[in-house]
Amino acid sequence: MSLLRPRFVEPARLSRHLGAYLAWEALVTERCNRIHRRRVPRAVFALASRLGDGVGWYVLALMVLAVHGGVAVEPMLVMLFSGGVGVLVYLTIKRRTGRLRPLHRNVRIEVSVAPLDQYSFPSGHTLHATNFGIQLLAFEPSLAPLIVPFALLVASSRMVLGLHYLSDVLVGAAIGGVIASLSLSLL
């Protein structure tokens, strides 16, 4: 009988576990940000972040269009539409949660790239990297050696540059995966 009843978790215990996780996550973010102190990695991650603003994905989509012509128009339009959906989703969540970025909470975080807004949850860059990456790979798998490292660099750049926590990146990737799956089901 006791197996059928949901187990009640005491709020204090839940709060303690959440607090421990958030402390661990802050430490992970700070350690990832240490990579930022070296000039070459900082430049690489800053470039990945800048290209992840959209330019990198637009170039890849244009490459697909150039190679495949008319058959690629519909998938690339769906991808573009899904990008707009992604913006609406992450902006809505960011405004509702209001989680401040690591640079606003930890004086040891070094930042060389200005954030697009003050909130961190979820990572829009990671959402788009996952969404666009999955859709481009579904249409043109031969681009995997270019798309996968680029998407991973964009996602990891968010923590290295001190702009996001691990959970921001993971949730952004999960949302991007859902949006990509729904988008691909339209084709």
In order along its 187 residues, the chain shows pLDDT tens digits of 445 555 555 656 668 888 888 889 999 999 999 998 899 999 999 999 999 988 898 898 898 999 899 999 999 999 999 999 999 999 999 999 999 999 888 888 888 888 888 899 999 999 999 999 999 999 989 989 999 999 999 999 999 999 999 999 999 999 999 999 999 998 7
C-alpha 146 chain-centroid distance: 18
Supply the pTM of this predicted model.
Answer: 0.86
Q: Is 85 exposed, middle or buried (0-12, 13-18, 19+ CB in 10 A)?
A: middle
Placement of tokens 């923590």 in the chain: 159
